[in-house]
Amino acid sequence: MPKRILQGTVVSDKTDKTVVVRVERRLTDPVMKKTVRKSKKYHVHDAENQFKTGDTVRIRECRPISKLKSWEVITE
């Protein structure tokens, strides 16, 4: 099964080897027919601590690394 890849913005880099990434998606409200932005935060593994708050990153699904982390940053 292919791994999911998402793109988002780093909102926190305070923990060691972890960044929090906000991924935003757009969808149409079923009743109002208006485009709405929804976002979700993911705890992402960043082994070298190289990403800082405000960076745009791509993340990939991986094996569970800890209780909250099952995503990793793709370095390109």
Tokens of residue 64, six digits: 């569970």
Q: What is the pLDDT of the chain when averaged over all its residues? A: 95
pLDDT tens digits, one per residue of 22-45: 999 999 999 999 999 999 999 999
Task: Give the structural domain span for 54.
Answer: 5-74
**Which CATH number is 33's domain given?**
2.40.50.140
- For the chain, how many residues are written? 76
Tokens 């960076």 locate to 55
Q: What is the mean pLDDT of residues 47-75?
A: 95
Pairing mode, strands 5-12 and 56-61: antiparallel
What pLDDT does residue 16 have?
96
- In total, how many domains does the chain have? 1
